[in-house]
Amino acid sequence: MGKTKSRAQRLADVKEALSGARSEIEMQQGIVEELKDEMQEWLESIPENLQGGSKYQAVEEAISNLEEMYSNLDDVTSAIDSADGIEVDFPGMFG
């Protein structure tokens, strides 16, 4: 039977997992930004005479929602950074 990991080792595992999660979130955030850029290009290519129509408004809303998603993902990475920066000293059982 294997030895149980120490508290410090388990905390290190948590921090490693957070680092992996942060990397994944950053990758997904890049995809969201690409989608927003594509929608922005589409919006800019809509002829002036159609710029008040429902398609134009739908594209604008999609851009706004993607910007909000990007911002929310940014908040998550900031929270991960904050959690990762916390140091925990575990007291020993004796002395």
pLDDT higher than 80, residue 40: yes
State pLDDT tens for residues 56-95: 999 999 999 999 999 999 999 999 999 999 988 888 877 5
Q: Is residue 23 part of a domain?
A: no
In a domain, 39, yes or no: yes
In the chain, which residue ranges form alpha helices assigned H by DSSP? 7-45, 54-84
- DSSP code at position 53: S
Is there a domain that residue 13 lies in? no
In a domain, 77, yes or no: yes
Domains contained in the chain, number = 1
38: which 2 tokens? 């594509």
State the helix-helix crossing angle for 7-45 and 54-84, rounded to 10 degrees: 160
Is the residue at 90 inside a domain? no
Give the amino acid at 86: I
Asked whether residue 36 is assigned to any structural domain, the reply reads yes
Q: What is the pLDDT of residue 1?
A: 57
Range(s) of the domain holding residue 43: 30-83
